[in-house]
Amino acid sequence: MRRRSSEVLPNPSLVNSSNTKKIVYATHFTVFLYATCYWIQIGVMPYLTRKLGANTTMFGYLQSVFAFVQLCGGPFFGRFGDLFGGKYALLLAAFSSVSTYGLMSIASSVPLLFLSRLVSVAMHTMQGSQMVITSITTDEERAAGIGRLGISYGIGMVVGPLLGGFLTDKFSEQAAAFAAMIGSAAMVVVVFIFVPKHFKECTEKSRKKSVSNDSVFDMKKYISIFQLPNFTYLFVIKTISSFPIGVFQAMFSVFTMDYFHLSAKENGIVLSYVGITGMIVQGLCTDFLTRRFSESMLIKYSVAVLAASNFLLIFVTNIYAFVIVLVPLITSGSVFTVIITSLVTKSVSSQDTGAALGLSMASNSFIRTVTPMIGGVLYSLFGFPLFGLLGLFVNGLLTFYLFFYGRNSFVNEEKN
């Protein structure tokens, strides 16, 4: 196979060396800090908005603004990482987090909360971490490497809600946001000290081209990625399947508070349970499954289990049944997400993995932009069971398509 002159290769000074382990550990710790801070504010935000006099609809608007800002920033953040390296991308994400949580910590009005959403435009630490892991792993190790990030994220998802609930209970919602700001500042220190500037070794032609022609805002680059059939296929099925999940996630803290009548502390416990389950699945089950089954098969059965889990969700009436149904829901969703993300990085050349991950993440951000308003309206009109009906309908139809018309293999058009 002939290698293109512009291809970017893993840096031989990093791969299979002691430096690689140091980078991996630093990346995992960064993900842990990010997840801890993120889930502190996720658990606190509904209570903070209510404390400042906002209703459920206004909470939905806040969620939509946050997602829209991330939608705008995600693809450019990915391209920024391709051009300037993972170190500077992660530093940019960390500073964005510090600004977001810092504004939350001094919020005394709803407009200030909206302002805190606007500065989150570059808060894409998970995306930056996936870029780092992609740069130092082979295609065969990719899914497992990305999946293991879920362990660190899951630990943070356990610690974050518990810490946020404790700080809110003992002090205030703003105090919890301040703790998230301090954790984000720690991310800056870790990335600055332990993450190197570059992970990829470029040919001379590629290096000259990056300096003279490439731009973070080069729209032709994004269009060329969408012209790759594998990427477009993955992007579409991810967007379709993730829509009902997005509606469910957007209203999660609302219906645990209103439908299951949980306090901030109890809501934190449930979110920690979600984190533990996701951590086990992404850290252990994904590696086991990818060694034994093809990626296309895992996508098909993950979507099928999602449909079945949403069917069970229709009949949930108490918190105990809810946490049981969450197990297959989280398991199938986690496997689906890891496999899709891994395939996305394989569907493009290695110099464009950041931009591809950014576009893929933009799908999540787009869904989070529209689902809070949709979820708020649907919840007000039809109640909690509608979330299960929506997931059953969408993923049921997608399951039918994947089993009868979906792809059975993924060959990288860009590399072959």
Please say whether the beta carbons of 307 and 389 come within 8 A: no
**Chain-centroid distance, C-alpha 169:** 28
Q: Which helix (H) or strand (E) holds 230?
A: helix 229-250
**Which residue spans within 41-193 are E strands per DSSP?**
none
pLDDT of residue 200: 54
> Any idea which architecture 220-415 has in CATH?
Up-down Bundle (1.20)
Q: What is the pLDDT of residue 18?
A: 67
* pLDDT tens track for 155-197: 888 888 888 888 888 888 889 999 999 999 999 999 998 888 7
Identical topology for domains 18-198 and 220-415 = yes
Domain range summary for the chain, segments of one domain joined by +: 18-198, 220-415
What values do phi and psi take at 201, rounded to 5? -105, 120
- The single residue listed with the structure tokens 């040919």 is 203
- State the DSSP code for 284: I
Give me the pLDDT at residue 2, please: 37
Amino acid at 123: M
- For residue 142, the model assigns a pLDDT of 78
In this prediction, residue 94 carries a pLDDT of 94
Distance between CA 373 and CA 62 in Å, rounded?
10
β strands within 126-248, DSSP E: 200-202
pLDDT, residue 22, reads 85
Ranges under pLDDT 50 in the chain: 1-10, 12-16, 202-212, 415-416
pLDDT for position 389: 93
Question: What's domain 18-198's architecture?
Answer: Up-down Bundle (1.20)
- The confidence score (pLDDT) of residue 91 equals 93
Provide CB contacts within 8 A for 277, sequence distance 6+. 154, 326, 327, 330, 331
DSSP label of 282:
I
- Beta strands (DSSP E) in 104-231 are 200-202
Residue 265 contacts residue 171 (beta carbons within 8 Å): no
